[in-house]
Amino acid sequence: MIHRSAVRPGPNQKITATRQDVSAGGPAANAAVTAATLGARALLISAMGSGPVGAAARGDLMRHGVEIHDAADGREIPLAVSAVLVDDATGDRSVVSPDATLAGRFDVTAPELDSLPRPDAVLLDGHHPDLARSVLAYARALDPRPLIVLDAGRWRPVFADLLGAADVTARSADFRAPDGVARSRATVATHGSEPVTWCDEDGRRGSTQVPDVDVRDTLGAGDAFHGALVVALARGADLQTAVEEAVRVASVRVQHVGPRAWLENLTCA
């Protein structure tokens, strides 16, 4: 649930929003929408259930071309609803969410995964730890093995099991892993409007400039970045080229108000 406002509420204060949007969310879901819009076949493995919130989220994702494998198997579950406030002047967003903690624990079996399309690339966000571990183990056993990308926005305990197995970690500038945790072979770090830094598996380092654009809405910009990054890597781009494509897509995202309207302005590179 996304509200746009010219002011932020103080303690015990009510304000009137200038705009309201309702859409599916979460890093992997938004990345999947971006990937599908870029022409990839995008499959989201998550727990959605049959409740009214899950039905709304499912409808939004399917409308944008995302296939869904529901680990909740149609049961009604308390799907998280995020409260999002976007500053009308700056486009900055604030988010309060229970993430996936209300829904409980869900897993997926190897036979279930065998029934799904074989992936060229897998993006993990860690919101459902058991799902992430199971998908990772399955992907690592495939031949050929798909590329594994980890979205590391903020530290989660499950990342101790995921970081060392990922081919690429796409992280925010303030992400910090505890000492002793294995790292991925390649890393991409975003720094807001500052250049994106990267290091590939051969130790080659570089940075990619972020264009100066009119920022209207930053909600989901990182998710769009990750979706575009994975699509480019899956299509054979090297890390530098994939980062450049991801920056291009994220720059389109921030120039448009609302969680989905920007997709009409997204073109394939």
> What is the per-residue pLDDT across 107-152, written as a single tens digit (0 to 9) for each?
999 999 999 999 999 999 999 999 999 999 999 999 999 999 999 9
- With a cut of 80, say whether residue 161 has pLDDT above it: yes
What DSSP state is assigned to residue 72? T
**Range with the lowest mean pLDDT among 74-83, 142-151, 190-199?**
74-83
Q: How far is CA 98 from CA 34, 81, 83, 120, 131, in A?
A: 24, 8, 10, 31, 18
pLDDT grade for 171, boundaries at 50, 70 and 90: very high
Is residue 103's pLDDT more than 70? no
**Tell me, what's the pLDDT at 77?**
83
Q: Rounded distance, CA 198 to CA 206, Å?
A: 6
Tokens of 145: 């093995």
**Cα 23 to Cα 42: distance, rounded to the nearest angstrom:** 17
Share of the chain above pLDDT 70, in %: 98
Percent of the chain with pLDDT over 90: 77
Q: What is the mean pLDDT of residues 74-88?
A: 86
99 vs 3, which has greater pLDDT?
3
Structure tokens at 42: 């995008």
Per-residue pLDDT at 31 exceeds 90: yes
Which helix (DSSP H) or strand (DSSP E) does residue 214 occupy? none
CA 222, 226, 227, 229 torsion-angle sign: positive
pLDDT tier, 35 (very low <50, low <70, confident <90, very high otherwise): very high
Amino acid at 199: C
pLDDT, average across residues 15-39: 94
Q: How confident is the model at residue 100 (pLDDT cuts 50, 70, 90)?
A: low
